[in-house]
Structure 1
Amino acid sequence: MTEAATAQTYLTQLSERIGALFVANTEAIAQAVEAVEATARNDGLVYIFGTGHSHLLAEEAHYRAGGLALTVPILATATMLHEGAIASTAFERMSGIVGPIFDRYPIGAKDVLFVVSNSGVNAAPVEAARIGKERGATVIAITSEAYSWEAAKGRTRLAEVADIVLDNGAPAGDATVAVPGSELRVGPVSTSIGAALMNAVLAEVASRLQASGAGAPIYLSANMPGAAENNAALIAKYRPRNPHL
């Protein structure tokens, strides 16, 4: 068997971090579930915004097998990675870029806005949270409290603006495993943990909706029986309000 000590260490640490999420976020998860459930019952939408790698969580929830159809990703090329990672890193630190992006999305008082930012101090996610609150939405941050405290240096933290804060527990710099013989570290965890936190909230909401008889708008994998009919009905309902369907 090939030895893979670093791989094993990373997966072990990631598993331990994910396993500790519920205890560390019990109250925040409960609050997030209540907010999303209220949005679902009021026919609102759950918007998700992030920049750089954090935008992956918006795509994670979008049109997802086993996911809620009321989720809407907020996507703009300037804040993503695929057409210019270096530029996106610069843009996410600039004030004023989020307003024009959010003009495309009619976020309102019935809605929830997830804002994802591991460091929690860049201008774009903080601005996004402020816009969400100005429009009356409930703003839920997925961030690292430890990283944001270390990185803030006088700047406003996303955690200070959001209504609810889900702490991913990631260390400053995100990487968790030391590279032997150097001072380098590898093994980022924020994406995996952030997706786990978000999906935990959405799964609990789906369970509660279904148990109450309200019915949960859940996409099925295209290869599952009944998927075509189920998904077509959901698309017909949400496509007029989701520009990415």
Structure 2
Amino acid sequence: MSDKGTAVTGAVYAARVQRLLAAAVEEELPAIRRAAELVARSFAAEGIFYVFGSGHSHMFGEEAFYRAGGAVRVCPILKSPHMLHEGAVHSTVLERETGHAEDLLKGYRLDGETDVLLIASNSGANPLPLEVAEVARGRGVPLIAITSRRYATAIDRPGPRLHELADVVVDNHCPPGDALVELGPELPDCGPSSTVVGMTLLNAVIVEALGIQLRRGETPQVFMSANMTGAESHNSRSAREISTLVPHL
């Protein structure tokens, strides 16, 4: 994407994000619906929707978890060394190493009969999310991926990609390298895109799953904003129902 003759501004970035988001949502609606079917089936079985990402992608788990307007039966997979706050550089090193998945998943049920797992990985090529995917597959857990096929196939590295392992792939359509705006010769591009697009796709899957439940005559479980009337008792009751399965409550 060339920016010759174009001012580098926040407005340019925002316009490109909007176009990318619109295209991703339109083209990925069938995948969103397939992913939502898996999540709705898990909710109906009193299962848990697990969400995992490492590095910046750990935010996907936090976005879906204990969220005002979000589904109740969600558990993020959060281990501090694989996030950012204890060392961003080190978390990147760990993401690219092998052998961490089993330890990472300790304390999370991941039952293939009832649960479902979503992994967010923009490149879809780093060892950690791939190994988590393999462990989930070994347990029979349905796997949803939010990733960029374009990025994954542009990386010159041997081995599988996340989109090749998942049962359902929701493609964020982001470019290799993630950034949308060119700054100039010999400078890295700026303006990341995968989080804003991916979070929308994630929430679209959740809302679609709740809608499927409603259409089937089931009662969706949703957290309320803590400042709304009745939220304290509603959220406390909902949290108690899943407290033995979700270590982060």
In which range does the TM-score fall when normalised by the shorter chain? over 0.9
Q: TM-score, normalised by structure 1?
A: 0.95
Aligned-pair distance for 1:46?
Answer: 0.4
Structure 1 runs of 4+ off > 3 angstroms? Answer: 180-183
CA contact (8 A) 2:33 2:208 kept: no
CA contact (8 A) 2:49 2:118 kept: yes
The unaligned stretches of length 5 or more in structure 1 are none
Structure 2 match to 1:53: 56
One-letter identity of the residue aligned with 1:84:
G
Structure 2 match to 1:33: 36
Secondary structure of the equivalent of 1:113? strand
CA contact (8 A) 1:98 1:127 kept: yes
What is the aligned length?
A: 242
Q: C-alpha distance in 2, partners of 1:151/1:122?
A: 10
Q: C-alpha distance in 2, partners of 1:127/1:204?
A: 28
C-alpha RMSD over aligned residues: 1.4
Q: C-alpha distance in 2, partners of 1:202/1:26?
A: 13
Secondary structure of the equivalent of 2:243? helix
The unaligned stretches of length 5 or more in structure 2 are 1-6
Pairing 1:110-149 to 2, within 5 Å after superposition: 110-149=114-153
Q: TM-score, normalised by structure 2?
A: 0.93
Q: C-alpha distance in 1, partners of 2:156/2:62?
A: 27
Aligned-pair distance for 1:233?
Answer: 1.1
Match of 2:100 among 83, 97, 102: 97
Q: C-alpha distance in 2, partners of 1:68/1:150?
A: 35
Pairing 1:140-159 to 2, within 5 Å after superposition: 140-159=144-163
Structure 1 match to 2:237: 233
CA contact (8 A) 1:117 1:125 kept: yes
One-letter identity of the residue aligned with 1:28:
A
Determine if the alignment matches structure 1 residue 162 to structure 2 residue 170.
no
Aligned-pair distance for 1:155?
Answer: 2.0
Identity %: 38
CA contact (8 A) 2:8 2:183 kept: no
- The higher-RCO structure (CA 8 Å, 6+ apart) is 2
Aligned-pair distance for 1:130?
Answer: 0.7
Q: C-alpha distance in 2, partners of 1:233/1:19?
A: 37
Q: C-alpha distance in 1, partners of 2:67/2:170?
A: 21
CA contact (8 A) 2:180 2:191 kept: yes
CA contact (8 A) 1:29 1:201 kept: yes
Deviations 1:196-230 (CA, angstroms, capped at 9, x unpaired): 00100101111222343311110000011121121
CA contact (8 A) 2:37 2:212 kept: no
Determine if the alignment matches structure 1 residue 6 to structure 2 residue 14.
no
CA contact (8 A) 1:146 1:172 kept: yes
Secondary structure of the equivalent of 2:70? coil
Determine if the alignment matches structure 1 residue 72 to structure 2 residue 75.
yes
CA contact (8 A) 1:121 1:152 kept: no
